[in-house]
Amino acid sequence: MSIRLVLAVVGVSLSMLACGNSGAQGDSPSVATVEIYSGRPNPKWTLDQSARSAVVKALDGLPVGRQLKSPDASKLGFRWIEVSNLDTSHGRVTRAKVTPRVVALELSADRRTVLLEDSQSRTLQELLRLGAGRVDADVLNLIRQQIR
């Protein structure tokens, strides 16, 4: 009986290691990247714990939208702000693509994408607030115009 317990614990530990899921949000930094088709490097910054918590709080209240479309990668100009490594109520997120009114979460457990409805673009507005001073003001204003 005790050998079975040891094998079960070892199996669970190896599974967590293979999935890269240590259970702690702080293991990998969260990076926000403005995906903008401009011919220049995409602006990016690392979110501290407070900023990460603010983004997660904005995401956690959003409902799943069954009729939504994934963000368009072929779009010219601003596409989305991508945020990596988040623990949300929807699951552990490898990448969140935040656009006006839609957030696409790529869940790390099964690589499934969940689309969330953000009708007031609160998550994007929070990221714009957090990007102030880190991203060129003209870029932030361009994104704000798309929210309206």
Say which DSSP state 64 is in: B
Phi and psi dihedrals of 20, rounded to 5?
Answer: 70, 25
Report helix, strand or coil for 83: strand
What is the rounded distance in angstroms from the CA atom of residue 28 to the CA atom of residue 34? Answer: 19
Instruction: Give 143's DSSP letter.
Output: H
Q: How far is 5 from 141, CA to CA, in rounded Å? A: 57
Q: What is the pLDDT of residues 37-47, one digit of tens each?
A: 888 899 999 99
pTM exceeds 0.85 for this model: no
Residues 47 and 33 sit within 8 Å (Cβ to Cβ)? no
Q: By the 8 A CB rule, do 79 and 37 touch?
A: yes
The token pair at 8 is 């079960």
Give 79-137 pLDDT, tens digit per residue: 999 999 999 999 999 999 999 999 999 999 888 999 999 999 999 999 999 999 999 99
- The domain limits of the chain are 23-147
Token pair 């602006």 in the structure block, residue: 43
